[in-house]
C-alpha cells in the first residue's frame, strides 16, 4: 500500500494551481551521486504517458520501419516537446527549504532533455525534489514529478551500503507489461544505488533496428518510460555504463560501419548515450561510498582496438590512458573493499567463439596483464562484477584467484548462451535471469562485504562473503 501511495504522491503532489498533467513520460534520472553532488536528467515530452496503443511491428526481426513512418506512432514512443525545465530540491519532504535551478529551455538538439549538475550537497543525506516543466516561454505549466535520492557518505566515515548491479534490457523479453520484475524486487531491497552495466537498449537486433538517431532515441523512450522503471528511478540513483548494443551493434568498436546499421554511426551512438543518461563527458570514473567501499566503472567501447586485430601488447579494450588511471587509482585507494564494475567479463569463462572481452583469447594479453597485476599489487579485497553475459555466475580465476560475479540478464527469457558449468572456475552457475546485490557492513571493528545473486523476484540463490 505504501509503495503505491508513494508513486501517486510522486506524480501528483505539489501540483500548482491550474497546472496540466505531467509532461515527463520518460521520468527523471539521477546519477553520478557523490557526497556533495549529483546529476539530474529531465526531459519534456508531448504527452503524459508513453504511446501504449501504438503500432507494434511484427515483420522481420530488427527491420526498420519505412523512412517516412512517424516514430511517434510506434508502441512505447514518447515524443519530446519544446519547453522549459527546472529542479527544486531540498532536505525537507515538503520542499519548504528548497533551492531551485534556473529555468532552462529544451529543444530537439538534445532530444528535449537537460542535465542539472547539483553541487554543495550534504553527505549521506536524503534529498527530495520536484522536477518541473512548462511549455515554451513558461506556459502552460505542467504538473511536476516528485522524487528523492540519498547522497554518498563521506570517504572517512563507515556506513552500511547495499547496491545492485543489472544488465541486458531486451524489450521483446519483458516479463511484465509495466517493466521487468527485477525493478520491483530491487525496490524491496531499498538499495542506495543501482549500476546499469550496459545493453540498456538493443539498437541492432530489436525491432525496429535503430538505423537513425530518431529510432535510437525511440529505443530509450520505449524501455525507460515503462512504469516500473520510472518509479524505481524516481527513488534510487543509477550509475550508467554502455556496451555494444547501446552504442551501435554487436561487438562493435570505433570506426566500425556495419551496413545493416547505416546511416547510424558509432559516433552518433556515443553522443546519444551521453544525451540519454545523467553523467559527464568522461565515461570511466570511480565513486567512494564511505571508508568501506569504492567502485570503478570502466568504459569498454570508446577506446578499444578492433576485435579482429592480432593480439599483443598494443591491443586493448581500455586504452592506455584509462588503463593507467585504473591501475593508479586502484593502488592508491584506501577503501576496505574495491570493486571494478565492467560492462564485459574479465574472468569468465566465456564461449570459445567469442572475441569481445578480457575473458576471450582475442584480448588475452591485456586480460592476463591486468589479472597478474591485481595478484601482485592488490590484497584480497578486490573483486569484479560484470554485465553482458546472459547467465549468472561466480567465478574464481584459476591462476590469479580473482573473483568475478556476473549479474545475469534482467529476465528469464533473455537468459542463455552459457558455455556451461566449469568446475575449474565456477563457484555458482545458473542460466536464468536476475540481478546481483552487494552489501557492506561494519561491526565489531570488522568490515564485511557480501555478494548475492537473486532471481527476477528477488530470491537469494547464492551468497559469498569476505571479511577484513
As a whole number, mean pLDDT of residues 103-116 equals 98
Distance separating alpha carbons of residues 336 and 334, to the nearest angstrom: 6
pLDDT value of position 379: 83
pLDDT value of position 56: 87
Q: What cell was used for 352?
A: 570459445
Structure-model confidence comparison of residues 278 and 11, the more confident one = 278
Distance separating alpha carbons of residues 198 and 279, to the nearest angstrom: 14
Instruction: Classify residue 109 as exposed, middle or buried by CB count within 10 Å of its CB (0-12, 13-18, 19+).
Output: exposed
Do residues 218 and 209 lie in contact, with contact meaning Cβ atoms separated by under 8 Å? no
pLDDT value of position 69: 82
pLDDT value of position 448: 98
- Across the strands, what pairs with 277? none
Length of the chain: 468
Q: Is the dihedral of CA 74, 244, 406, 163 positive or negative?
A: negative
What pLDDT, in 10s, does the model give residues 344-384?
999 999 999 999 999 999 999 999 999 999 999 998 899 99
Distance separating alpha carbons of residues 389 and 407, to the nearest angstrom: 8
Q: Indicate the pLDDT class of residue 20, thresholds 50, 70 and 90.
A: confident
As a whole number, mean pLDDT of residues 428-454 equals 98
Contact residues for 163 (Cβ-Cβ < 8 A; gap 6+): 191, 192, 193, 194, 195, 289, 437, 438
Q: What are phi and psi of 438, to 5 degrees?
A: -130, 130
- Third-level CATH fold of 161-467: Purple Acid Phosphatase; chain A, domain 2 (3.60.21)
What pLDDT, in 10s, does the model give residues 215-261?
999 999 999 999 999 999 999 999 999 999 999 999 999 999 999 99
Say which range, 9-13, 93-97, 173-177, has the weakest mean pLDDT. 9-13
Tell me the Cα Rg of the chain.
22
Distance separating alpha carbons of residues 468 and 466, to the nearest angstrom: 7
As a whole number, mean pLDDT of residues 161-183 equals 98
What pLDDT, in 10s, does the model give residues 40-91?
999 999 999 999 999 986 545 556 666 678 999 999 999 999 999 999 999 9
Give the residue from 188, 183, 196, 281 showing the smallest Cα distance to 227.
Answer: 183
* % the chain with pLDDT above 70: 94
**Above 80 in pLDDT, residue 130?**
yes
Q: What cell was used for 239?
A: 550509475
As a whole number, mean pLDDT of residues 391-420 equals 98
pLDDT value of position 60: 58
Do residues 101 and 116 lie in contact, with contact meaning Cβ atoms separated by under 8 Å? yes
**Above 90 in pLDDT, residue 455?**
yes
**DSSP 3-state assignment of 67?**
coil
As a whole number, mean pLDDT of residues 100-108 equals 98
Q: What are phi and psi of 288, to 5 degrees?
A: -100, 135
Distance separating alpha carbons of residues 423 and 409, to the nearest angstrom: 22
Q: Indicate the pLDDT class of residue 14, thresholds 50, 70 and 90.
A: very low
What pLDDT, in 10s, does the model give residues 410-439?
999 999 999 999 999 999 999 999 999 999
pLDDT value of position 9: 43
Distance separating alpha carbons of residues 337 and 334, to the nearest angstrom: 8
Question: How high is the mean pLDDT of the chain?
Answer: 94
**Grid-cell match 601482485, residue found:** 376
Structure-derived torsion over alpha carbons of residues 244, 246, 247, 251, reported in degrees to the nearest 10:
10
Distances from the Cα of 405 to the Cα of 190, 341, 437, angstroms: 21, 9, 10
Contact residues for 194 (Cβ-Cβ < 8 A; gap 6+): 163, 164, 165, 166, 186, 232, 236, 237, 238, 239
Any alpha helices (H) in 98-142, and if so which ranges? none
Give the residue from 348, 342, 349 showing the smallest Cα distance to 323.
Answer: 342
- Across the strands, what pairs with 195? 165, 239
**Above 90 in pLDDT, residue 10?**
no
**Above 50 in pLDDT, residue 205?**
yes
Q: Indicate the pLDDT class of residue 304, thresholds 50, 70 and 90.
A: very high
Domain positions in the chain: 2-45+80-150, 161-467
Distance separating alpha carbons of residues 332 and 201, to the nearest angstrom: 35
Distance separating alpha carbons of residues 335 and 311, to the nearest angstrom: 34
* % the chain with pLDDT above 90: 92
Name the CATH code of domain 2-45+80-150 (choices 3.30.70.100, 3.40.1670.10, 2.60.40.380, 1.10.3720.10).
2.60.40.380
Distance separating alpha carbons of residues 383 and 387, to the nearest angstrom: 14
Amino acid at each position: 500500500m505504501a509503495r503505491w501511495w508513494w508513486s501517486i504522491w510522486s506524480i501528483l503532489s505539489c501540483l500548482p494551481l491550474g497546472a496540466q498533467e505531467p509532461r515527463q513520460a520518460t521520468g527523471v534520472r539521477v546519477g553520478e551521486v557523490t557526497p556533495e553532488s549529483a546529476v539530474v536528467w529531465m526531459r519534456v515530452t508531448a504527452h503524459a504517458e508513453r504511446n501504449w496503443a501504438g503500432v507494434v511491428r511484427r515483420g522481420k526481426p530488427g527491420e526498420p520501419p519505412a523512412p517516412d513512418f512517424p516514430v511517434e506512432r510506434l508502441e512505447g514512443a514518447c515524443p519530446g516537446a519544446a519547453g522549459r525545465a527546472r529542479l527544486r530540491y531540498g532536505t525537507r519532504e515538503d520542499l519548504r527549504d528548497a533551492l531551485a535551478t534556473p529555468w532552462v529551455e529544451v529543444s530537439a538538439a538534445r532530444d528535449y532533455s537537460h542535465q542539472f549538475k547539483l553541487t554543495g550537497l550534504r553527505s549521506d543525506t536524503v534529498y527530495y525534489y520536484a522536477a518541473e516543466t512548462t511549455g515554451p516561454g513558461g506556459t502552460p505549466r505542467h504538473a511536476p514529478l516528485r522524487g528523492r535520492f540519498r547522497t554518498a557518505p563521506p570517504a572517512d566515515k563507515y556506513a552500511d551500503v547495499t547496491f545492485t548491479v543489472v544488465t541486458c534490457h531486451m524489450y521483446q523479453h519483458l516479463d511484465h507489461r509495466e517493466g521487468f520484475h527485477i525493478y520491483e524486487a530491487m525496490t524491496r531491497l531499498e538499495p542506495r544505488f543501482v549500476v546499469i552495466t550496459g545493453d540498456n537498449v538493443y539498437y541492432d537486433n530489436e525491432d525496429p533496428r535503430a538505423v537513425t538517431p530518431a529510432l535510437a532515441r525511440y529505443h530509450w523512450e520505449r524501455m525507460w518510460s515503462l512504469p516500473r522503471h520510472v518509479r524505481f528511478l524516481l527513488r534510487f540513483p543509477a550509475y550508467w555504463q554502455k556496451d555494444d548494443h547501446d552504442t551501435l551493434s554487436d561487438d562493435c568498436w570505433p570506426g566500425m560501419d556495419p551496413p545493416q546499421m547505416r546511416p547510424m554511426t558509432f559516433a552518433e551512438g556515443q553522443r546519444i548515450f551521453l544525451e540519454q543518461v545523467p553523467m559527464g563527458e568522461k565515461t570511466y570514473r570511480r565513486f567512494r561510498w564511505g571508508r568501506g567501499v569504492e567502485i570503478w566503472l570502466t568504459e569498454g567501447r570508446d577506446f578499444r582496438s578492433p576485435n579482429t586485430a592480432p593480439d599483443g601488447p598494443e591491443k586493448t579494450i581500455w586504452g592506455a590512458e584509462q588503463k593507467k588511471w585504473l591501475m593508479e587509482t586502484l593502488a592508491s585507494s584506501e577503501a576496505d573493499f574495491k570493486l571494478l564494475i565492467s560492462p564485459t567479463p574479465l574472468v569468465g569463462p566465456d564461449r570459445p567463439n567469442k572475441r569481445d572481452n578480457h575473458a576471450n583469447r582475442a584480448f588475452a594479453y591485456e586480460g592476463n596483464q591486468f589479472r597478474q597485476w591485481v595478484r601482485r599489487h592488490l590484497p584480497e579485497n578486490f573483486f569484479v562484477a560484470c554485465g553482458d553475459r546472459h547467465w549468472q555466475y561466480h567465478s574464481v580465476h584459476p591462476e590469479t584467484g580473482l573473483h568475478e560475479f556476473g549479474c545475469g540478464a534482467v529476465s528469464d527469457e533473455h537468459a542463455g548462451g552459457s558455455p556451461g558449468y566449469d568446475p575449474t572456475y565456477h563457484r555458482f552457475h545458473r542460466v536464468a535471469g536476475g540481478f546481483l546485490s552487494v552489501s557492506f557492513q561494519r561491526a565489531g571493528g570488522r568490515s564485511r562485504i557480501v555478494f548475492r545473486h537473486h532471481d527476477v523476484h528477488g530470491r537469494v540463490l547464492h551468497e559469498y562473503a569476505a571479511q577484513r
